[in-house]
Copies of this chain bind each other. A is one copy, B any other.
Amino acid sequence: MSSNAPRLKVAAENLPVENGKRPIRPVRVGNVEFGGNRPILIAGPCAVESREQTLEIAKHVRDAGGDMLRGGAFKPRTSPYSFQGLGERGLEILAEAREVTGLPVVTEVMDPRLVDLVGQYADMLQIGSRNMHNYPILIEAGKSGKPVLLKRGWSATLQEWLYAAEYVALQGNLDIVMCERGIRTFSRGEYNRNTIDLNVVPALRAQTFLPIIVDPSHATGDDELVPPIAKAALAVGADGLIIEVLDHHIDRARVKCDGAQSIRPPALEEIVREARWIETRRSETPASS
């Protein structure tokens, strides 16, 4: 922030440092709390494709020890010919999956006219990477009072990302979780879809009290890279992860969305174990950076 920038509502200095603990303002979604010692694991399919697929994956997420469920009902797709999501039917399926598993649900909203509708079903509203600069939707999400998962635009600066959060916060809603999901660089398409930017996690931490999570699925675009990058994100200090999961018996090529970067349940279990270990370690040590 330049020195003459207005004092942001989401800036760190508003919160007092206590006992050397880093000043994170926790965000609660149901019984889940972002910003405590426990890294929160959100997992689920890229898109809600059917009731069966979604319920099955939701149970895997619960059984693996995940904390929340993700899944797209309204999907922003580069091509108008790609699967666009099931819409409100997808929201109903997500609500049923929540009932079955007890896991709170986060799903994307991509139209300011649909914020109310999505908010009736979801526990947390996701603003996707393409919409980080979509100010009408940020304002509606702020007004909704629902917790917001704010993904970084794939070419957004840290300052632009903070200002996007400020649009939400100015509506009186500080329940914002920031999500790094990879940036677009020259290496796009060679061994990854995006470059995971872990530098931004401690850099953002120094600027705001908002919790920060990482999306290793979009940040790599390759299921083989997801587990090591998930571990790196936890080690760098992220407050959680959001991960795309694929069922055991589903052919990767037949999934309607992000098949190449979705992991199978055993890989999810491995990541959950790492997260639990990190939780123990964070609880034992007096927190520093």
Chain A interface (Cβ within 8 Å of chain B)? Answer: 5-6, 76-81, 110-113, 130-131, 133-136, 154-155, 157-160, 163, 166-167, 170, 183-192, 195-203, 206, 219-220, 222, 224-225, 227-229, 231-237, 289
Contact = CB atoms under 8 A, between A and B. Distances in A.
Contacts of A235: 228, 231-232, 234-236
B191 A189 contact: no
A278 B131 CA distance: 39
Interface centre among A166, A222, A225 (most CB of B within 10 A): A225
A184 B197 CA distance: 12
* A interface secondary structure, majority: loop
A80 B163 contact: yes
Nearest to A281: B277
A78 B289 CA distance: 29
A191 B199 contact: yes
A72 to B, nearest CB: 13
Given A163-B78, A236-B228, A236-B229, A197 B187 contact: yes
Nearest to A133: B130
> For the complex formed by this chain, how many copies does it contain in all?
4
Given A158-B190, A190-B159, A206 B224 contact: yes
B225 A202 contact: yes
Contacts of A224: 202, 206, 289
A5 B110 CA distance: 25
A136 B113 contact: yes
Contacts of A158: 187, 190-191
A198 B167 contact: no
B130 A110 contact: no
A231 B198 CA distance: 11
A197 B195 contact: yes
Given A192-B203, A206-B224, 7 more contacts: A6-B79, A77-B135, A80-B135, A130-B134, A154-B155, A191-B199, A192-B199
A228 B198 CA distance: 9
15 contacts: A76-B135, A78-B133, A78-B160, A80-B167, A134-B134, A154-B155, A185-B186, A185-B197, A186-B188, A187-B199, A199-B220, A199-B229, A202-B228, A206-B224, A235-B235
